[in-house]
């Protein structure tokens, strides 16, 4: 086992295109919210300059969107002339998007996207991607593994999870590969977005995988508790099955490696890992303050923790602590008798001094308080390290392909609270170097201040050269979902953190709810006629 360095400072301190696009500014910047004022382009440019900005959003004009949508419709009906014009429009828009992004301080504007089986019907995926381009996005974070499903064709799915697309008519269609290809044709980078330690309900129904489920000291798996982290952001319908796994379990790691390999074969432009954490419960349970609160009681995790002992007495002490949840004076007396030739129990990170010849140990009662504290910190560090190791192994697999990887996390997921820790135990500040950081800045406080502070916390702790892309949620042009508009949030981040040049928005369904619902239920009549505004 490799040397163990506790993954957070508190423990270390304790030894442990011909058509012209008009870029819409949504020009009035009042009360922190930008609204569409109908100003002409020179006036918009002047407002951008007054804010120290340069056309950051790269939105298409309503006229350009309508024209392209009409070409799309005629092309679907078999009009050969429209088909050619539509292909030319796609290319021109990709070129102009690239030019606009090059001139803007916001070099990368990404959106999180879930595609559906219905998107495999003629023209639907193209319409989705066209609307994304019209909003000025130049990157998609495409959801490829979520709620125990994979975006792989049924005919080519080597994983233990079922395919998202289950219609036999589409058994050989590869929705992931098609989205990547068609996205690139439109000037979009396409990252694969994957759940991490949340393997989904389907995984928990496999008896041979039962030992790989994360388990706490109360004998519960995560199906038995609610994950309150979703209170910070609304999930998609059907996203309630959350089954977290033991990151130390070899089979768990192998299953994920096989999944990741299949994703990498589709050659995405990067991979983002989400749910690199444990569940967070409500109230007092949102803080892990006792050994039993930690998700380290699956067999592999217990074995790995015991193996951190560096002498026999240390391993026996950890084993007894796990079994009982605490230690008392009589436990120490028994351990002293079982291992008379050893001094203090020792383990990675503890580093107790060697006992001099003839030196007697202090009485058990005198040693007990520190031993209890050290065991608690060791156990918490072990829980943290499992998360760190999991993302490190996955990122290394991506690095072999020569493409970037990144971690999606809550900025406050690594907090220490009193003598306890945020139960997500998401030590993002200890994630492997060289990966992108995507902090979910979802704060709700009536304005953008808490959102900015969440992003600031991450930016200020990022090692030099780390690409930090804050994730914000909301709608264009108006306050929604208890948050200021995306425009206002973006400007607030720009003002406070001018070094940030990449921002992502959660998610497409928030911006296009009617369109997304029609796609989810496969209402072709609603999909074909949809022409909602792009603010």
Distance, in Å, from the CA atom of 72 to the CA atom of 412, rounded to the nearest integer, reads: 44
| Beta carbons of 226 and 239 less than 8 angstroms apart | no
Cα dihedral 255, 261, 266, 268 in deg (nearest 10): 100
What is the per-residue pLDDT for 280?
Answer: 86
* DSSP secondary structure letters along 106-159: --EEEEEE---GGGGSTTHHHHHHHHHHHTT--EEEEEEEETTEESS-GGG--S
Q: Which of 465, 471, 466, 496 is nearest to 486 (CA)?
A: 471
> pLDDT value at position 285?
85
Note whether 112 and 506 are within 8 A (CB): yes
Q: String of b and e for 146-160 (b: at least 16 CB within 10 Å)?
A: bbbbbbbbbeebebb
Q: What is the pLDDT of residue 80?
A: 97
* pTM of the predicted protein model: 0.89
* Distances, alpha carbon 50 to alpha carbons 5, 44, 46, 497, 532, in Å: 49, 10, 6, 17, 31
Length of the chain: 535
- State the 10-residue block means of pLDDT for the chain, 535 residues long: 40 34 25 28 36 66 93 97 97 95 95 98 98 97 97 97 96 97 98 98 95 96 74 47 93 98 98 96 89 97 98 97 97 96 94 79 96 97 98 98 98 93 96 97 97 98 97 94 95 97 96 95 95 71
| pLDDT at site 298 | 98
Using CA atoms, how far residue 138 sits from 192, 386, 395, 407, 465, in Å, is 14, 34, 23, 19, 21
Look up residue 53 and give its two tokens: 């900005």
Output the pLDDT for position 440: 98
CA–CA–CA angle 275, 277, 279 (5° rounding) = 95
Q: Exposed, middle or buried, 71 (CB in 10 Å: 0-12/13-18/19+)? A: buried
């Amino acid at each position: 086992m490799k040397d163990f360095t506790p993954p957070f400072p508190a423990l270390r301190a304790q030894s442990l295109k011909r058509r012209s696009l008009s870029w819409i500014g949504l020009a009035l910047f009042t009360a922190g919210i930008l609204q569409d004022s109908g100003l002409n382009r020179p006036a918009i440019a002047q407002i951008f300059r007054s804010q120290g900005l340069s056309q950051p959003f790269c939105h298409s004009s309503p006229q350009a969107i309508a024209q392209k949508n009409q070409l799309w419709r005629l092309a679907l009906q078999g009009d050969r002339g429209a088909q050619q014009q539509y292909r030319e429009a796609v290319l021109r828009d990709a070129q102009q998007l690239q030019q606009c992004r090059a001139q803007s301080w916001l070099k990368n504007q990404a959106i999180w996207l879930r595609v559906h089986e219905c998107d495999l019907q003629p023209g639907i995926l193209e319409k989705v991607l066209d609307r994304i381009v019209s909003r000025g996005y130049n990157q998609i974070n495409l959801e490829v593994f979520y709620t125990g499903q994979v975006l792989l064709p049924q005919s080519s799915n080597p994983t233990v999870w079922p395919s998202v697309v289950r219609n036999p008519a589409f058994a050989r269609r590869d929705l992931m590969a098609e989205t990547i290809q068609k996205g690139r044709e439109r000037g979009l980078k396409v990252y694969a977005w994957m759940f991490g330690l949340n393997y989904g309900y389907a995984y928990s129904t496999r008896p041979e995988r039962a030992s790989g489920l994360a388990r706490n000291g109360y004998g519960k798996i995560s199906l038995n508790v609610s994950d309150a982290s979703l209170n910070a952001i609304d999930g998609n319908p059907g996203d309630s099955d959350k089954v977290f796994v033991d990151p130390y379990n070899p089979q768990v790691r192998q299953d994920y490696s096989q999944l990741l390999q299949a994703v990498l074969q589709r050659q995405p432009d990067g991979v983002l890992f989400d749910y690199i954490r444990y569940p967070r419960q409500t109230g007092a349970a949102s803080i892990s303050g006792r050994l039993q609160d930690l998700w380290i009681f699956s067999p592999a995790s217990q074995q790995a923790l015991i193996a951190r002992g560096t002498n026999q007495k240390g391993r026996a002490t950890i084993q007894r602590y796990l079994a009982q949840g605490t230690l008392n004076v009589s436990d120490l007396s028994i351990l002293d008798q079982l291992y008379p030739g050893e001094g203090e129990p020792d383990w990675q990170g503890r580093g107790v001094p060697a006992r001099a010849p003839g030196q007697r140990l202090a009485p058990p009662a005198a040693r007990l308080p520190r031993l209890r504290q050290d065991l608690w910190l060791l156990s918490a560090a072990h829980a943290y390290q499992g998360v760190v190791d999991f993302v490190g192994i996955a990122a290394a697999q991506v690095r072999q392909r020569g493409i970037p990887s990144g971690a999606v996390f809550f900025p406050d997921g690594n907090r220490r609270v009193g003598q306890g820790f945020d139960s997500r135990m998401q030590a993002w500040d200890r994630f492997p170097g060289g990966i992108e950081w995507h902090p979910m800045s979802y704060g709700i406080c009536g304005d953008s201040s808490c959102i900015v502070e969440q992003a600031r916390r991450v930016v200020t702790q990022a090692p030099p050269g780390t690409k930090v892309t804050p994730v914000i949620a909301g709608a264009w042009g108006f306050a929604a979902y208890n948050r200021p508009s995306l425009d206002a949030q973006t400007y607030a981040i720009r003002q406070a953190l001018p070094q940030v040049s990449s921002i992502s928005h959660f998610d497409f369904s928030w911006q296009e709810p009617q369109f997304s619902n029609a796609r989810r239920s496969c209402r072709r009549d609603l999909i074909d006629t949809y022409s909602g505004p792009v603010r």
